[in-house]
A and B are shown apart, each in its own frame.
Chain A
């Protein structure tokens, strides 16, 4: 089944304790992206990747890191989490290296993170 898989789905952690949220897709998609969803704000893009070893900042990159060493994986790293990073996180991917506005995103099921 074509899908985007995120882990963990739920996590409670404490301020300052490094964590990684993994994201993997099995569709051979070039483009991958991380979003956070907060009430009243919709989805805001954190980072995105056009292809392996190519990443760029989205709208809210502060406090996050990403890497794209393999095409299928795009982990989100919180080096020193803070309470304002408590949120619902989504990974998404789409095909085509070319800039195509018509591409549809496939989303993971989400990872709910709580930072105490």
Chain B
């Protein structure tokens, strides 16, 4: 069975500081990893994904994520956070070519001015 853990319910950072949102996963095959973001009163939007290749993946809005196979992690990062990055972030995983996508519980990011 596949699963995703986001150990932090909330992350608070000051604008201009680095932002990290943590995610760990468990799969039996090769992981396909995703980050989605949800702004207030909106649906989820795709940020980035890791399928294969370079462990550092770059996505939308200046976000990037690093795949670490030994630690089974896929942390989301942004070098300099903006107030507009305040949102709910979800990590998700698929086990190999399976269609089922499992989501973490979500992490609320608040960036203060």
Contacts and interface: CB of A to CB of B under 8 A. Distances in A.
Interface of A: 4, 31, 35, 40-45, 48, 50, 58, 90, 92, 99-110
Given A42-B90, A42-B105, A43-B90, A90 B43 contact: yes
A108 B100 CA distance: 18
Contact of B103 (A4, A42, A48, A106): A42
Nearest to B92: A43
Interface of B: 4, 6, 9, 32, 34, 36, 41-46, 49, 51, 90, 94-101, 103-106
A82 B97 CA distance: 35
Contacts of B96: 101
Given A41-B105, A43-B103, A99 B98 contact: yes
Contacts, number: 60
A50 B99 contact: yes
A90 B44 contact: yes
28 contacts: A4-B43, A31-B99, A35-B103, A40-B105, A42-B90, A42-B103, A42-B104, A42-B105, A43-B44, A44-B103, A50-B99, A58-B100, A90-B43, A99-B97, A99-B98, A100-B97, A101-B96, A101-B97, A102-B32, A102-B51, A104-B34, A105-B44, A105-B101, A107-B45, A109-B42, A109-B43, A110-B41, A110-B42
Looking at chain B's contact residues, is the secondary structure mostly helix, strand, loop, or mixed? loop
Contacts of A99: 97-99
B98 A104 contact: no
Nearest to A44: B103
User: 8 closest pairs, A vs B, by CB?
Assistant: A107-B43, A101-B32, A43-B103, A42-B105, A101-B94, A42-B103, A107-B44, A99-B97
B86 to A, nearest CB: 17
Nearest to A106: B46
Contacts of B42: 109-110
Contacts of B46: 104-106
